[in-house]
């Protein structure tokens, strides 16, 4: 079994363990539908509306960041077209899970007439930037457990704070990878191609073309000004997401007293959980939210489930109506996107 399969197996084992633990808690705690509906009935809709507006605004922030990444290849890229591709792409993730991830770079490449490989490179840069921010937020928050509403025992507190420092170090490693990718230039590409010279000439030529397009997609990371813009947009985007979470928890009486540190800790866990996306129903995000709300903050399983459901709807499903509207307007069928070939090459 290769390293990728081991990673998938480990991730699946973690998810299954979390689901089993959540199911055990559900059964032992006794799920109360009255408490569940009460948590939804007593929502402060003004806070919830503000949370929704901020989440939708974060998608606009993603578009601005992508526009910076595509600028070396396509000056004057259309904000509307990139936003449309972003909305459709995230809708595909909700519908198909992680299999829908290539939809956004594919549509941007098609709409802006650039290569698909270059936009995969842009997507990788985006993932690294987001992971870097999540790890840094998570690391800082966990080191501040003592000033939050979490009341763990002394041993558990040490584990959380150690996890915080580990997350911070991993974030620094992600930054090193991002810097390393800046060095992906012609010489490195040529060495890779030379190392594959034992393959048939047609395949080597194809690999050379893909690597060349990938190098083009990394172009934005080689400019200090562009790199600063990418980091600035990433920080701004996650500040907006954190503000959206804060507003959402203010909307529920059970979490209205949460401080900034509490919200950031929950955001860190939920961001990690959202890496597991079950087509149509989400998954890891809701489980992470329920576990943190019950185990760390002492909420009942019923109220926590209601809050987690709304959190998922606001954070992920809210973009679906826009994505469907854009797809309908552009005549895009999700059935065709589901089986998207990742070796498409536009431009």
Model pLDDT, residue 247: 95
Mean pLDDT of 108-117: 88
pLDDT beyond 70 at 297: yes
Compare 14 and 213 and report the one with higher pLDDT: 213
Compare 335 and 250 and report the one with higher pLDDT: 250
Assess if residue 345 is contained within a domain.
Answer: no
Model confidence pLDDT, tens digit, residues 148-180: 666 555 555 555 666 666 666 766 776 666 666
Residue 262: give the domain boundaries. Answer: 43-72+79-182+218-338
Q: What's the mean per-residue pLDDT of the chain?
A: 75
Altogether, the residues listed in the chain come to a count of 347
Q: How far apart are CA 201 and CA 332, in angstroms?
A: 36
Cα dihedral across residues 9, 10, 14, 20: positive or negative: positive
Lowest mean pLDDT among 14-18, 39-43, 312-316: 14-18
pLDDT band at 342 (very low <50, low <70, confident <90, very high): very low
Given the structure tokens 């901020």, which residue do they identify?
Answer: 54
The answer to whether residues 237 and 58 touch, using CB atoms and an 8 Å cutoff, is yes
Assess if residue 14 is contained within a domain.
Answer: no
Q: Residues 6 or more apart from 347 whose CB is under 8 A from it?
A: 109, 113, 114, 115, 118, 213
Q: Residues 6 or more apart from 260 whose CB is under 8 A from it?
A: 246
Q: Which two tokens stand for residue 27?
A: 């059964």
Assess if residue 11 is contained within a domain.
Answer: no
Q: How far apart are CA 176 and CA 144, in angstroms?
A: 25
Assess if residue 344 is contained within a domain.
Answer: no
Assign residue 30 a region (left: φ > 0; alpha: ψ between -120 and 50; beta: otherwise): left
* 119, 212, 132, 177: CA torsion to nearest 10: 170
Model confidence pLDDT, tens digit, residues 304-314: 888 888 998 99
Q: Which residue from 155, 157, 159, 163 is spatially nearest to 139, judged by alpha carbons?
A: 163
Q: How far apart are CA 167 and CA 274, in angstroms?
A: 17
Model pLDDT, residue 168: 65
Lowest mean pLDDT among 66-70, 128-132, 200-204, 343-347: 343-347
Mean pLDDT of 28-54: 76
Assess if residue 176 is contained within a domain.
Answer: yes
| DSSP element (H, E) containing 101 | none
Model pLDDT, residue 4: 46
**Domain total of the chain:** 1
pLDDT beyond 80 at 62: yes
3-state helix, strand, coil in the chain (%, to 5): 80, 0, 20
Q: Residues 6 or more apart from 276 whose CB is under 8 A from it?
A: 11, 15, 283, 284, 285
Model pLDDT, residue 145: 64
pLDDT beyond 50 at 191: yes
* Sheet strands (E) in the chain: 277-278, 282-283
């Amino acid at each position: 079994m290769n390293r990728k399969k081991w990673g998938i197996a480990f991730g699946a084992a973690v998810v299954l363990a979390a689901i089993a633990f959540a199911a055990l808690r559900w059964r032992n705690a006794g799920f109360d539908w009255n408490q569940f509906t009460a948590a939804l009935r007593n929502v402060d809709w003004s806070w919830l509306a503000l949370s929704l507006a901020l989440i939708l605004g974060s998608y606009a922030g993603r578009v601005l960041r992508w526009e910076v990444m595509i600028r070396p290849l396509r000056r004057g890229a259309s904000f509307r077209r990139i936003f449309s591709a972003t909305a459709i792409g995230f809708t595909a993730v909700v519908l198909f899970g992680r299999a829908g991830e290539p939809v956004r770079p594919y549509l941007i490449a098609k709409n802006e007439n650039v290569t698909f490989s270059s936009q995969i490179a842009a997507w990788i840069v985006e993932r690294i930037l987001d992971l870097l921010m999540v790890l840094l937020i998570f690391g800082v928050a966990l080191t501040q457990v003592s000033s939050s509403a979490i009341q763990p025992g002394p041993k558990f507190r040490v584990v959380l704070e150690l996890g915080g420092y580990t997350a911070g170090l991993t974030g620094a490693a992600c930054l090193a990878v991002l810097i390393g990718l800046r060095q992906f230039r012609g010489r490195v590409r040529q060495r890779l191609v030379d190392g594959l010279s034992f393959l048939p000439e047609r395949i080597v030529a194809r690999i050379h073309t893909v690597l060349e397009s990938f190098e083009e997609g990394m172009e934005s990371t080689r400019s200090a000004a562009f790199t600063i813009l990418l980091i600035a947009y990433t920080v701004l985007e996650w500040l907006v997401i954190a503000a959206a979470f804060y507003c959402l928890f203010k909307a529920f009486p059970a979490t209205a007293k949460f401080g900034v540190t509490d919200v950031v800790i929950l955001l860190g866990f939920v961001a990690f959980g959202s890496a597991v996306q079950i087509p149509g129903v989400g998954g890891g995000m809701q489980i992470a939210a329920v576990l943190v709300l019950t185990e760390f903050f002492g909420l009942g399983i019923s109220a926590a489930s209601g809050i987690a459901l709304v959190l998922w709807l606001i954070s992920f499903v809210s973009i679906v109506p826009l994505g469907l509207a854009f797809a309908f307007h552009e005549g895009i069928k999700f059935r065709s996107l589901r089986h998207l070939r990742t070796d498409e090459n536009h431009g």
